[in-house]
Chains A and B, each alone.
Chain A
Amino acid sequence: MNRTQLRHGLAILIQHNLLYYDVDSDTHMAYYEANTDNAYCLIRTGKILEMIDTSFGPPTKDVVQSLLLLGQTRISDLVAAYREKIASANQAVIDKESNVFDDAAATNGNSQPKKLNNLAVKSTAQLNSILCRLVEAELIDVVHDKSFQSPIDTYKAVEKEATDTFFPGGVKGGKAKIEFEEKIAEGLRKVRNESKLLKRKLEQNGPAAKRRKLFLNGGVANGAHDEEEDKDPALDPKQVIRINYEKCLVELRNRRLVQFASEMIGDMTSYVYGVLLKQLTKQLSRCRLDPAMDMGELEEGQGSGIVTTAEILDSLKTSVDLSLGLGKTSREALSSRAAEKLQELPPKKKLILEADVDGDARADESEDDGSDSDESGTDDDAKDYAPPAANGSKVKFADSTAKEQKMDRPTQLRQHLLLLAESSRHFVRHCGYNEWTVDFVPLMQVLREAELDSVIERTSGRQGLRLVRILRNKGKLDEKALPNVALMRKPEIQQKMLEMQTAGFVQVQEVPRDNKADVKKSFFLWFHDEEKSIGRLLDTSYKAMLRCMQVLEVVRQKERDVLMLTKRTDVKGREEEVMRKEYYERYRKFLDCERKLFAQTMRLDDMVALLRDY
């Protein structure tokens, strides 16, 4: 490899964000490091595009697709590329109009593979407005000179700066240490926020909210945007932009949660949930807070904001009938007191502060013991929260006298939200009257657990799942006690447990009864380590993904003569006509395999994303 080749290679890798580099200020040497996180994100390309397509519409998808293909791009370059494309498409349309029978036009306009007079993005103004939307949604951010520093280098630089400016004499004492950490966090946040430059500029330019809302209802006919377009400020053409994977992950996580809610409760409720999540995560730029940067936020536990019922109502589609998806009962069968119960603190906090807020809404948690003692607690609560509860029921009763069946829309919406709050999975938290929030950290843990459970059930059967969940619930359990709890035959249990031990879902601990450690007399305690199981599941997922790719490579090798053929320029694009039937058949089969394996890798990535990133 010569110098030019090397440079070219590095440039391309940097363009696609696959490398970090750092120039040492003393020696002026550049050090390169692979950016593995971004490399991994390449596998999510398809998913991100699909997500953009459904929530922003096809034109936006087209833009994002170009961005993903090009890597980071200067805005002016992107605009130029689109201008050319649009011009040639228009030209083709004109050609076609003038010469209707000329088929050649179809192949000429290869800028757009499908129908040529139907470009997704019709004008540069539309492109500009799309980019504005994406920037506002944080799905695109700006590349700046520090974007290519690896996180460790950035941290070191910030640390050095903080030491030089604030603590020239070194950090001494506990108080100074905390202060020092705060300074570092601040510095890191500053670096991170640099990439939000464009967004800030846009926000300064006036109320974007209204326009954004119109846009979010995307998927409407393309023409609808035309009136809006010219109002958007032109973006600085010199800025270099790229896809922000972190924010994409937040969107993907929302979709995952909606899917989970639909599985657990029902489609309509999950639709409401999707709207809620969208509102809630508008200001959320990443799934997991960085302990180094977001210390303050972590402690406050205010990672996610609050959404009010009215806000959700405003963004629901008017065509959606909220009365669906819920069972009908009479008012008397419902306890509005229990349903409207407020949970002001996230679950974890509650455990710590248990002494202060005793029995705070704990009744509906899945705690099996002490139902009587809880009762007194809930009664107290009811008194505390009496005003909102009474308020809510008053509204309802007024309704019920008028006409039982006809609930007004806010009430219907509230019913869905309350159902989500009541669920044992804690989808949302009713944190104030008509205020809703989501505790992502515990919720994702629940989701991970559910995923683990489904893997266990699939591999070890329902009885295997039963045993694991018993162990999760009861902690360590003696081998002899298991049959009684699980109502299963002893040999069956032993077989299942051994099977699951090899799969890594359960572990066994031998406790000798006395000093002699006689194996016959020892206790054998089974237990289930959730973290370990999830970790192992993640490893298995990685490995399975790798295997899929390797198998694909093997298949490619096997069919390489066919694939060589398809690479020829005269064959490309019209394989079916040119190739011999036998060869084409093999090619088709290979494509099937490839599609299957890619789809599978993407599905495996669903797992990895859930277990690692969300």
Chain B
Amino acid sequence: MAGSQGDAAKLQILKDALYDEARQHGSESRLFTQRDLLGLNVIPNENATLLLRVVQGLCDDKLFVGTNNHAGLAWRWRSKEDAKKYTSLSDETMMVYSMIDEAGADGIWNRTIKFKLNMHDSVVKSAIKTLETKGYIMGMKNVEHPNKKMYIKANLRPSDRATGGPWFTDGELDTAFITELEMIVFEFIKTQSAYLGSQGGHRSVGPARMPTKGVIRGGAAPVSNVGDSSSRGVKRAATEISNDDQTPAPAPAPAPVTAPHQSSSSSTAVNKARLKVFLPLPAGYKTYPTVSEIAQQIDKWGITNNTTLSEADIQQLVDILTFDGLIEPIKVNGRKGYRVTRPTKQETSSLAKRQKDREAGIGLDLTLMGVETGSNGLTETPCGRCPVFELCEEGGPVSPSNCVYFTEWLGLDEGRSKPPNGIVPA
């Protein structure tokens, strides 16, 4: 009898030793196979039977959790606090709790619990209720299945898969956050991938305008053409004035001079900033910003104070901007950077200023990012935006002869709204 008692004491010692040793050798999620456990050199003579008894004991104490992995049985250890939670629970509740525990950071659906444990609905419900009141578990939301009631251990944070990563807040796609960040990334790429200068040097304003007027702008409709070229003409003329203090300056110009330029431009007169224009950089430019550079910059600015964005997250953002046609990838010597599209058409005032303007109600029709695409003949015509275009035919319910959109577009509806034409003094 004394032998068996001594045996039990010995077993207890071995249990503690094995437990401690296992804790030293890995995190809670590490799986120990039988070989691993024997390798800890706790069990004398690599005695498998003894190991079995020790492990069984530990499992009974909820300090070890047995699992099946591809190589057979394996165990992982559980913290003493957690084990204590288990021991204080009733059988059913404990089973429910272990299910939730195993699900880890992904959480588990309450119907899955029910299905797996083959328990009655009310039993599962009451078990969950007890666990919740004890503060062991909590409800969570999964982005992929927003309608499913999911549970997770209270001391865990839901995994990225469940929350949807940094783009989600409380299970909802945080579009405001994304748009804001998109704008910052875009602004960064814009200022880093184009040269902020002024177009139309003082020597050659005349000839520079000639191609614009004659050759380049020719294809547009005569009406818009006139407005366009005249406004451009004005722009150039003004550039000429403001130009004198800028062009002689750049000696061996440092790479992109954007940052100092920007700060100076915001401090100078407003109209001066507007006259500036982004110019494309010469071919073979080596330092277009890459994704990792953008990620580093964002990290440095510390805009996203409670979430850290990985490079993959930024890549996702950059991809979106590429798909939107705002930026384009460019490879120089195998280095993949990004640059802004249509540089010369970009807004040159700083993003902060434009945002302030918008809050003040100025320029609400302007986009904060990039340029509006040029319209073409089709999108300008009422037909290009007509909701009943497919139905439209002569003799049908909608036809060119009774088209309200055309009437409006041609400005003919005023005559109609003032029915008696005769009232107009002859």
Residues on the B chain within 8 Å of A604, using CB: 377-378, 381
Say whether B195 contacts A462, CB under 8 Å.
no
Residues on the B chain within 8 Å of A488, using CB: 173, 175
Residues on the B chain within 8 Å of A365, using CB: 331
- In Å, the complex CA distance between A537 and B383 comes to 12
Say whether B252 contacts A330, CB under 8 Å.
yes
Task: Return A469 CB to nearest CB of chain B, in Å.
Answer: 4
Task: Return B55 CB to nearest CB of chain A, in Å.
Answer: 42
Residues on the A chain within 8 Å of B384, using CB: 455, 458-459, 540, 544
- In Å, the complex CA distance between A204 and B362 comes to 66
Task: Return A220 CB to nearest CB of chain B, in Å.
Answer: 12
Task: Return B403 CB to nearest CB of chain A, in Å.
Answer: 6
CB of A193 within 8 A of chain B? no
Instruction: Tell me which of A194-202, A269-277, A289-297, A349-357 binds B.
Output: A269-277
- In Å, the complex CA distance between A263 and B220 comes to 12
Residues on the A chain within 8 Å of B410, using CB: 551, 555, 592-593, 596-597
CB of B333 within 8 A of chain A? yes
CB of A258 within 8 A of chain B? yes
Residues on the A chain within 8 Å of B319, using CB: 485
Say whether A465 contacts B324, CB under 8 Å.
yes
Count, chain A residues at interface, CB 8 A: 109
Residues on the B chain within 8 Å of A600, using CB: 221, 377, 380-381
CB of B260 within 8 A of chain A? no
- In Å, the complex CA distance between A603 and B219 comes to 9
Residues on the B chain within 8 Å of A267, using CB: 199, 208, 211-212, 216, 344
- With A487-B173, A555-B410, A582-B426 in contact, do A469 and B284 touch (Cβ < 8 Å)? no
Central interface residue in A366, A375, A418, A487, by most chain B CB within 10 Å: A487
Per-position contact with B for A384-405: 1 when CB-CB < 8 Å, else 0?
A: 0000000000000000000011
- In Å, the complex CA distance between A255 and B324 comes to 27
- In Å, the complex CA distance between A339 and B286 comes to 10
Residue of A with least CB distance to B248: A405
- In Å, the complex CA distance between A374 and B203 comes to 44
CB of B342 within 8 A of chain A? yes
Interface of A is mostly: helix
Residues on the A chain within 8 Å of B197, using CB: 327-328
- With A267-B211, A335-B286, A371-B336 in contact, do A606 and B344 touch (Cβ < 8 Å)? no
Residues on the A chain within 8 Å of B415, using CB: 589
Instruction: Tell me which of B132-140, B275-283, B350-358 binds A.
Output: B275-283
- In Å, the complex CA distance between A596 and B329 comes to 40
Central interface residue in B218, B253, B255, B415, by most chain A CB within 10 Å: B218
Say whether B255 contacts A329, CB under 8 Å.
yes
Per-position contact with A for B222-259: 1 when CB-CB < 8 Å, else 0?
A: 11000000000000000000000000001111111000
CB of A581 within 8 A of chain B? yes
- With A327-B279, A600-B221, A607-B376 in contact, do A321 and B167 touch (Cβ < 8 Å)? no
Task: Return A488 CB to nearest CB of chain B, in Å.
Answer: 7
Q: Within A249-282, which residues are at the interface with B (CB < 8 Å)?
A: 252, 255-256, 258-259, 262-271, 274
Residue of B with least CB distance to A456: B373
Say whether B284 contacts A593, CB under 8 Å.
no
Task: Return B217 CB to nearest CB of chain A, in Å.
Answer: 7
Residues on the A chain within 8 Å of B216, using CB: 258-259, 262, 267, 270-271, 274
Task: Return A556 CB to nearest CB of chain B, in Å.
Answer: 11
Say whether A324 contacts B201, CB under 8 Å.
yes
Say whether A328 contacts B250, CB under 8 Å.
yes
Residues on the B chain within 8 Å of A336, using CB: 284
- With A415-B283, A419-B282, A465-B325 in contact, do A541 and B333 touch (Cβ < 8 Å)? no
Residues on the A chain within 8 Å of B42, using CB: none
Say whether A258 contacts B377, CB under 8 Å.
no
Residues on the B chain within 8 Å of A269, using CB: 280
Task: Return B42 CB to nearest CB of chain A, in Å.
Answer: 46
Say whether A551 contacts B403, CB under 8 Å.
yes
Per-position contact with A for B414-426: 1 when CB-CB < 8 Å, else 0?
A: 0100000100101
Residues on the A chain within 8 Å of B251, using CB: 404-405
CB of B207 within 8 A of chain A? yes
CB of B341 within 8 A of chain A? yes
Say whether A321 contacts B207, CB under 8 Å.
yes
Selected from B284, B344, B383, B394, the residue in CB contact (under 8 A) with A339 is B284
Say whether B376 contacts A421, CB under 8 Å.
no
- In Å, the complex CA distance between A243 and B220 comes to 23
CB of A93 within 8 A of chain B? no
Say whether A582 contacts B424, CB under 8 Å.
yes
Q: Within A559-614, which residues are at the interface with B (CB < 8 Å)?
A: 580-582, 585, 589, 592-593, 595-597, 599-600, 602-607
CB of A501 within 8 A of chain B? no
Say whether A554 contacts B284, CB under 8 Å.
no
CB of B183 within 8 A of chain A? no
Residues on the A chain within 8 Å of B332, using CB: 335, 338, 363-364
Say whether A593 contacts B334, CB under 8 Å.
no
Task: Return B219 CB to nearest CB of chain A, in Å.
Answer: 5
- In Å, the complex CA distance between A454 and B218 comes to 20
- In Å, the complex CA distance between A545 and B380 comes to 12
Residues on the A chain within 8 Å of B373, using CB: 453-454, 457-458
CB of B29 within 8 A of chain A? no
Say whether B211 contacts A274, CB under 8 Å.
yes
- In Å, the complex CA distance between A222 and B271 comes to 41
Say whether A54 contacts B215, CB under 8 Å.
yes
- In Å, the complex CA distance between A219 and B426 comes to 47
Task: Return B389 CB to nearest CB of chain A, in Å.
Answer: 7
Residues on the A chain within 8 Å of B400, using CB: 547, 550-551, 553-554
Say whether B329 contacts A368, CB under 8 Å.
yes
Residue of A with least CB distance to B223: A599
Q: Within A430-462, which residues are at the interface with B (CB < 8 Å)?
A: 451, 453-455, 457-459, 462
Task: Return A523 CB to nearest CB of chain B, in Å.
Answer: 16
- In Å, the complex CA distance between A598 and B276 comes to 36
Residues on the A chain within 8 Å of B330, using CB: 364, 422, 424
Say whether B334 contacts A321, CB under 8 Å.
no
CB of B63 within 8 A of chain A? no
Selected from A50, A333, A487, A554, the residue in CB contact (under 8 A) with B287 is A333
Say whether B253 contacts A255, CB under 8 Å.
no
5 smallest beta-carbon distances between A and B, as pairs = A327-B195, A339-B284, A603-B377, A321-B204, A418-B283
Report 10 cross-chain contacts, Cβ distance below 8 Å, ordered by A residue. Answer: A266-B199, A266-B279, A317-B207, A320-B208, A339-B284, A465-B325, A540-B383, A550-B400, A582-B426, A603-B377
- Residues on B facing A (Cβ under 8 Å): 167, 173, 175, 178, 194-195, 197, 199-201, 203-204, 206-208, 210-212, 214-223, 250-256, 279-287, 316-317, 319-320, 323-325, 328-334, 336, 341-345, 373-381, 383-385, 389, 392, 394, 400-401, 403, 406, 410-412, 415, 421, 424, 426
